[in-house]
Amino acid sequence: MGLFIVFEGIDGSGKTTQAKKLYHYLKEKNLKTVLTKEPGGTEEGKKIREILLNKDYSIPPIAELLLYEADRSIHINNFVKPKLNNNFIVISDRYIYSTLAYQHFGRGIERRIIDFLNSITTGDLIPDIVFLFDIPVEESLRRLNRFEKDRIEKESIDFHKKLREGFLKLAKENEEIFYLIDATKSIEDIFRDIKNILNIRFNI
């Protein structure tokens, strides 16, 4: 079995930047590695992602939840599991913890519904490690202000504060796999932290 590495955190916390750096670093070491994301890690999922992030669409919370879970079912079963079975290192930008943060702690959908859907879409696939990028909401929104915001990023500061707190709760519940990253540090300092942690835990 390969290694399943997940990056989580609020929008603008710097996940994508680090996931890409890690991907190139591992490829240079000649390790079999793929970089993927939710939503939109597959051809089919890209269509779902377009619906989810279109800022002109109005999507009720339950429909939103089911679309993220549909994307996940395709992504995990058609792409992630086959790669892990083929001994790849899979780096995923977001996974089940994003659904708990955004759709439960953010939108208020009952936790048991989301736990159930996460369980059946993934067959209870748990990552080997989760890097949680923690950053004050004001700072992450400042970073995003330079770009046009999508449907989710347009939510209020209060919504994003609920997400940050939710992610921190999830980290406490899953201490064996979560590593907290101080996402206010420089890109190079964060990358050094990530490399150190992976080296200590998995010898890579």
DSSP assignment string, 38-53? SS-SSHHHHHHHHHHH
Q: How near is the Cβ of 203 to ligand TYD at its closest, in Å?
A: 29
Q: Compute the CA torsion angle 127, 2, 40, 120 (nearest 10 deg).
A: -50
Residue 38 interacts with, from ligand TYD, ligand ADP, none (CB under 5-8 Å by kind)? ligand TYD
Looking at the Cβ atoms of 68 and 79, the one nearer to ligand TYD is 68
Q: How near is the Cβ of 23 to ligand ADP at its closest, in Å?
A: 13
Residue 151 in contact with ligand ADP, rule: CB under 6 A: no
Cis peptide before 61 (omega within 30 of 0): no
Helices (H) and strands (E) in the chain, counts: 9, 5
Looking at the Cβ atoms of 186 and 203, the one nearer to ligand ADP is 186
Residue 40 in contact with ligand ADP, rule: CB under 6 A: no
Residue 17 in contact with ligand TYD, rule: CB under 6 A: no
> Helix (H, G, I), strand (E, B), or coil: what is residue 108?
coil
Residue 102 in contact with ligand TYD, rule: CB under 6 A: yes
Do 132 and 178 meet the contact criterion of CB atoms below 8 Å apart?
yes
Binding to ligand TYD (CB under 6 A) within 44-73 occurs at 68
